[in-house]
Copies of this chain bind each other. A is one copy, B any other.
Amino acid sequence: MTPDTPAPGSLRPGGRTARVRDAVLRAAGDLLAERGFASLDLAEVAARADVGKTTVYRRWRTPTGLVADLLVEMAETSLPHANTGTLRGDLLANARLVAKTLTDSRQSRLFKAVIAAATSDDTAAEALRRFYDIRLTEWVPCVEAAIARGEAPPETDARAVLSAVSAPLYYRLLASGDPLDDTTITTAAEAAALAAGAGLFTRPQGQSAR
């Protein structure tokens, strides 16, 4: 128990609630990055955030609840899509943003912890899916603009194009361990732009592989 545990209902709306959330999610992110999901403890998060334990338990309930809200916050602060005038340029800007996140020391450990949690926890997996939905949706206009410019066929699946940019970066982070260098970033963007231009992302989902 921390001495500043507030009585239930004592939270004022607005500024203080937002500050409490900021502090709690910052502490949760730090602890996740330091020690991973398995060690995430709500009482420790409350102590580190200097927030009452009761508040944390009442608002977030479980470690998964904290992870889900952390992902909502990370999605809310997603950077706006680029507008470079070419699909290749926009996808390169996207690849650089994703790579910047995944090579940042704190952020990469945080993502690894959340993805690890999602492998065995359905609520975390669902929160992670919503996070990628928001991130991908923000960048869909880049593919729509490319279609309008005639750089890709009208039926192009924007989500598939953007996933193709991120996939090689995540594969290195999580599986092969190969370095996430400039060559990887450029190739990810250019290969996705080339495949989109060739119409490879126009197939309806569920069609048989030939």
Contacts and interface: CB of A to CB of B under 8 A. Distances in A.
Contact of A174 (B170, B172, B192): B170
B160 A187 contact: yes
| Residue with the greatest number of chain B CB neighbours at <10 A, chosen from A136, A171, A186, A207 | A171
Interface in A165-210: 166-168, 170-172, 174-179, 181-187, 190-192, 194-195, 198, 200-201, 203-210
Interface of A: 35-36, 38, 92, 96, 112-113, 115-120, 125, 128-129, 132, 136, 159-160, 163-164, 166-168, 170-172, 174-179, 181-187, 190-192, 194-195, 198, 200-201, 203-210
Given A181-B205, A191-B192, A166 B175 contact: yes
Given A129-B177, A167-B168, 12 more contacts: A36-B119, A36-B120, A116-B120, A164-B191, A167-B170, A174-B174, A181-B205, A186-B210, A187-B203, A191-B200, A194-B194, A195-B195
A176 B120 contact: no
Given A119-B112, A167-B170, A182 B206 contact: yes
